[in-house]
Amino acid sequence: MADSELERRHEQAFEQWLKRVEGELGWEVVQSGRVDWIRDVYHEHGDLPAHRFARIAFERKARSVLDVLLPLAGSIERETDLRIDTRPEFIHPSTDFPGGIVTVAGSAIQSFDPVGVLAEVADAIQTYLADRYGRLWPLCPEHGTGLHAITHEGEALWWCKAKDHPSIRILLG
């Protein structure tokens, strides 16, 4: 059997497994970022049951949140002189929450991709600053309007929606 035939069958098996796992968990992993890491999990572990995959996905998301939260909060505190108290909350995968839940400042983080996690955590902290302190941050240096955290071309950016342009990269530290 040719390598391309094996690759095609492997890809089909992966897609069937992913569709089954997403159905059992009730969420779409693919819409929350790139799937390379999911393909790696499948390649390494094979046809995992949904609950075991959910634990791997949850740990990946939790680790990504912890990796960005403190440096990002520290950076924002230095820029705004405001205290950021945004300890993440973790609800581990269970019968009630098959995929688990990770929240920052009351906002659920959906992405599993580190860049997506960075943008979502930045957005959660931005919302926290607005709700807690009435502070609109960050502002577009060009237009003075509030920016929005997004992912664009593989980067986490602050985006100016007033004039629809990228403003600055979301940086850690």
Q: Would the pLDDT of 31 be above 70?
A: no
Q: Note the pLDDT of residue 61.
A: 94
Tell me which of 85 and 147 has the higher pLDDT: 147
Q: Would the pLDDT of 105 be above 60?
A: yes
Burial class from Cβ neighbours inside 10 Å (0-12, 13-18, 19+) for residue 59 reads middle
| Mean pLDDT in residue range 50-54 | 94
Q: Note the pLDDT of residue 50.
A: 93
Q: Would the pLDDT of 86 be above 80?
A: no
At 112, the pLDDT band (50, 70, 90 cuts) reads: confident
Tell me which of 79 and 35 has the higher pLDDT: 79
| Mean pLDDT in residue range 79-93 | 89
End-to-end CA distance of the chain: 51
| Mean pLDDT in residue range 93-122 | 92
Q: Note the pLDDT of residue 27.
A: 78
Query: Strands 148-152 and 107-108, how do they pair?
Result: unpaired
Per the CB < 8 A criterion, the answer to whether 127 and 49 are in contact is no
Q: Would the pLDDT of 1 be above 60?
A: no
Collapsed DSSP state (helix, strand, coil) of residue 166:
strand
Q: Would the pLDDT of 116 be above 60?
A: yes
Mean of pLDDT over the chain? 89
In this prediction the pTM is 0.87
β-partners of residue 16 are none
Most confident of 76-80, 82-86, 120-124, 161-165: 120-124
Tell me which of 83 and 56 has the higher pLDDT: 56
